[in-house]
Amino acid sequence: MLLQRHMAELAKHRALLTALVSRELKGRYRGSVLGFLWTFLNPLLLLCVYALVFSVYFRIQMDNYAVFMFCGLLPWVFFSGSLNDGAGAITDGGSLVTKVLFPLQILPAVKVLAAFVNYLLSLPILFAFLLGWGVAITPKLIAFFPVAAVHILFTYALALLLSTANVFMRDTRHILANFLTLWFFVTPILYPLSQVPEKWRGLLYLNPAAIFALSYQDLFFWGRWPRWDILGLLALGSLVLLLMAVVIFEHYKEYFAEKI
Amino acid sequence: MSEPLAIEVAGLVKRFRRELLKSDYTTWKSLLLRPFRRDRAADLLTVLDGVDLAVGPGRTLAIIGENGSGKSTLLKILAGIYKPDAGQVSVRGRVSSLIELGAGFHPEFSGRENVFLNGTILGLSKKEINRRFEQIVEYAGLGQFIEAPVRTYSSGMYVRLGFSVAVNVDPDVLLVDEVLAVGDEAFSHKCEDKLNEFKRAGKTICLVSHDLNAVKKFADEVVWLDGGVVAARGEPARVIDAYRQVVAKREDEVGRRAISRGELPTADRWGEGEVEITAVRLLDADGQQHAVFASGGPLFIEMDYKINQPVQAPAFGIGLKNSAGVICYGCNTHVDQASLGPLPNEGTVRFAAQRLDLVPGSYLLDVAVTSPEGRDYDYLVQVASFAVRGGSDGDVGIYRPPHDWSLRPRGESA
């Protein structure tokens, strides 16, 4: 089966996957003075910016708002970063695509995994903030693993689709960048669900990014289980999306080397 | 009993969509318009049209042909990077392609890190790279630079490191694309040594090259691709010779077309123009214009002039330079004390060389009219270029004296 083969190829080349992910992560800050420290500094500074804007200027009425916002922001950074980089994974692959033979799905997979590792590395900062603000960390935190698994699945499927689309239509990336901005603001990250008018709330669950944000907020901030029913449906949907993405990717990948 | 072939290709066809070759990328706009465009089938460019190959294990096949003949495409299909549109392709054993050296190198990473990265991309396990690491570094000749970031490397060091990793993959089938052409003299010797080592080890090699001398040296068999079809195949010397003849003829045609356009394309031109050169022609013995001449054959240079202001005894001169810019021969009517007699206001001066004993290669022609004291009335730099062909291939230098070789056993008189 196509999906099976697609994933088996990834598994078979895990050494290459690891090497390229570490290239991505190490290469990003190599040559800068602070180096790998930026991996931690970047989310910290991001938090400071948002915290300043939304607790000093906009004044969202909520206890521990800065920490709450951080819980949804970090996974969003993973998600949007994966898609932004993933869309260009093939087109920026250069000679790796045109002159070397290996399963090309590795390139978008590397972008997603690198962004995910970055996300994991920023979690200690989140925990420090949770503790510092006196938000209890509960055993329900283990829900992180299934939530993150579905999140990766969904993100990888989208990254595959976008990387394929961008080979044939270079506008994809630019459209995506703007679309992500819109997506960010319709996702309850900067504001809690309670701020959304009652009649719109049901609609929110049609937005996968919202489901992920709410789930992370549940398990990090509110100390409760995420909505398993909705998450289960999303997992199923992600799998279907992945299957579609793989079919499309595998169909078009033989043209990649010629198109770039 | 026959061994299975290492490379087997039958009826290979590869087409590119023409729009893929355009530099402007597809956009949503063109995508939306595409269903309305007609005859999309005509947009296909056939790059390879029914190519067959059969290479036995341990043999070296060279693919030659002009630019755009489909050589590199064929190699990429053998490497599995392109998919054929029709036909069968099978390559047996572990393949390493020297198509791209240093794939995935990160400029900020050290040579060491990049060896591991590049090796992994080429399909080596970490253990295999560890085992070969010393060998790779030694072969690349980088010494302690291996710990420095690759961006600090010279292009030669970069290529050496990439090459070193690629050849240490220990393939059964090696695909080589013009690698011999990069790097300095010492490096190309190393490449040659390595290729020979592969040959001795019984590896199958398929190489694409413009360096016909190298091809002659390495290949057991040559395939000449012309416009996507096999024009000739077989014994290297014979195929290369046939190829050379066709290329020379085409060059000549292209050159003649440029000449017939009648303009004087010079790299530089100076002088007051008291006497002006209005046309320059390179002719053979029959008075035909050519851009290619045989080594040892005749060459005639004609220049049309026009006197714009009365001047005293102008001297007409020519200069031949080779592609390296070395002056091979230069003289003028004054130096030669050639008396042309009184000059009409317009006319043609002819330089006739009965034998052009130059080594095959490309040459450039300068022509000039000067005053007796050496002031330039009109000086035209690189007003024409021509190629010299023929003779044997391995000649080096500039001058090719008419010669032959003989042997005299000791004690016999000449």
Quick check: A11 pLDDT over 70?
Answer: yes
Coil vs helix vs strand at B64: strand
Q: Which of A30, A100, A168 sits opposite B103 (nearest CB)?
A: A100
Buried b / exposed e along B281-307 (16+ C-beta atoms within 10 A): bbbeeeeebbbbbbbebebbbbbebeb
B266-275 mean pLDDT: 82
Using a CB-CB distance cutoff of 8 angstroms, which residues of chain B are in contact with residue A30? 106, 108-109, 149
Q: CA A139 to CA A224: how far, in whole Å? A: 9
**Chain B interface mutation, best of A26, A91, A102, A176, highest count of B Cβ atoms under 10 Å:** A102
What is the bridge-based pairing of β-strands B95-98 and B173-177? parallel
Chain A residue with Cα closest to B26: A169
Using a CB-CB distance cutoff of 8 angstroms, which residues of chain B are in contact with residue A171? 27-28
Buried b / exposed e along B98-126 (16+ C-beta atoms within 10 A): bbbbbbbbbebbbbbbbbbbbbbbbbbee
Q: Are B296 and B391 in contact (CB under 8 A)?
A: yes
Give the strands of the sheet with B86-91, arranged side by side.
Answer: B44-55, B7-17, B86-91
Distance from CA of B18 to the nearest CA of A (A): 11
Q: Does the beta-carbon distance from A101 to B106 stay under 8 Å?
A: no
Using a CB-CB distance cutoff of 8 angstroms, which residues of chain B are in contact with residue A170? 25-27
pTM as predicted: 0.74
Min mean pLDDT across A47-61, A194-208, B67-81 is at A47-61
Residue B148 near chain A (CB below 8 Å)? no
B43-55 mean pLDDT: 87
Q: What is the mean pLDDT of chain B?
A: 84
Residue B16 near chain A (CB below 8 Å)? yes
**Chain B interface mutation, best of A90, A101, A253, A256, highest count of B Cβ atoms under 10 Å:** A101
Quick check: B189 pLDDT over 90?
Answer: no
B321-349 mean pLDDT: 87
Residues near B114 by Cβ (< 8 Å), separated by ≥ 6? B102, B104, B105, B106, B150, B161
Q: Across chain A, which distance is largest between two alpha carbons, in Å?
A: 56
Quick check: B375 pLDDT over 50?
Answer: yes
Using a CB-CB distance cutoff of 8 angstroms, which residues of chain A are in contact with residue B126? 15
Q: What is the pLDDT of residue B24?
A: 47
Q: What is the pLDDT of residue A109?
A: 97
A69-81 mean pLDDT: 94
Q: Are A88 and A173 in contact (CB under 8 A)?
A: yes
Which of B134 and A51 is assigned the larger pLDDT?
Answer: B134
Q: At what angle do helices A2-12 and A228-259 cross, to 10 degrees?
A: 80
DSSP B258-275: HHHT-----SEEES--SE
Residue A254 near chain B (CB below 8 Å)? yes
Q: Does the beta-carbon distance from A101 to B26 stay under 8 Å?
A: no
Q: CA A25 to CA A109: how far, in whole Å? A: 14
Residue A20 near chain B (CB below 8 Å)? yes
What ipTM does this complex have? 0.80
Which of A22 and B266 is assigned the larger pLDDT?
Answer: A22
Q: Which of B16, B109, B120 sits opposite A27 (nearest CB)?
A: B109
Quick check: B22 pLDDT over 80?
Answer: no
Q: Given pLDDT bands bounded at 50, 70 and 90, which one contains residue A26? A: confident
Closest by Cα among A246, A243, A215 to A146: A215
The one-letter amino acid at B383: V
Beta bridge partners of B45: B16
Q: Residue A27: which H helix or E strand, with range? A: helix A14-29
Sign of the dihedral through C-alpha B301, B306, B308, B314: positive
Residue B214 near chain A (CB below 8 Å)? no
Quick check: A130 pLDDT over 80?
Answer: yes
Coil vs helix vs strand at B338: coil
Q: Given pLDDT bands bounded at 50, 70 and 90, which one contains residue A53? A: confident
A109-128 mean pLDDT: 94
Q: CA A66 to CA A50: how far, in whole Å? A: 8
Q: Does the beta-carbon distance from A23 to B116 stay under 8 Å?
A: no
Beta bridge partners of B389: B294
Residues near A221 by Cβ (< 8 Å), separated by ≥ 6? A64, A67, A68, A71, A130, A135
Q: CA A212 to CA A154: how far, in whole Å? A: 10
Q: Are B208 and B97 in contact (CB under 8 A)?
A: no
Chain A residue with Cα closest to B85: A254
Quote the DSSP letter at residue A55.
I
Cβ-Cβ pairs closer than 8 A, A with B, add up to: 76
Residue A15: C-alpha distances to residues A10, A19, A20, A21, B106 (Å): 10, 6, 9, 10, 17
Q: What is the pLDDT of residue A47?
A: 83
Find the Cα–Cα–Cα–Cα dihedral A231, A234, A235, A241, rounded to 10°: -170
Q: Residue B351: which H helix or E strand, with range? A: strand B346-353
Quick check: B67 pLDDT over 90?
Answer: no
Q: CA B78 to CA A158: how far, in whole Å? A: 32
Q: What is the mean pLDDT of chain A?
A: 91
Alpha-carbon A218 to chain mean position: 18
Q: CA A9 to CA B269: how far, in whole Å? A: 63
Neighbours of A82 (CB within 10 A): 29
Beta bridge partners of B411: none
Residue A16 near chain B (CB below 8 Å)? yes
Q: Are A107 and A237 in contact (CB under 8 A)?
A: no
Tokens 């922001």 belong to residue: A73
Chain B residue with Cα closest to A175: B28
Q: What is the pLDDT of residue B211?
A: 82
Q: Across chain B, which distance is largest between two alpha carbons, in Å?
A: 88
